[in-house]
Amino acid sequence: MWVLLFSASPVHLAFEIVLLRSVSSFLVAAGAASHSFMMNPYRSLRSFHSSALLLREHSPNVGRLYSPRRAEPN
């Protein structure tokens, strides 16, 4: 907070405000995600799995990174 009060220029002030907003938004999103996972872990994992499958359909390179079943040897 002290950094905001003693900024040298308006550009620095704007950058610090944007940085603080993005950090606080990330913390709020992380808190909401952990809360929903604690309330219903099965639903959260199922949601992650379905979004990963959708991502895999739309971009084939991601399929190599996340695969729900083991790859078979050639």
For residue range 53-73, what is the model confidence (pLDDT) as tens digits? 666 555 555 545 555 555 555
pLDDT on residue 21: 82
* pTM, 2 dp: 0.33
For residues 74 and 64, the answer to whether their CB atoms sit within 8 Å is no
pLDDT on residue 29: 76
Give domain limits for the chain.
Answer: 40-64
**Residue partners of 13: CB distance under 8 A and separation at least 6:** 4, 7
For residue range 31-48, what is the model confidence (pLDDT) as tens digits? 776 766 666 666 666 666
Q: Quick one: which H or E segment has residue 46? A: helix 41-58
Residue 10 reports pLDDT greater than 60: yes
pLDDT on residue 58: 58
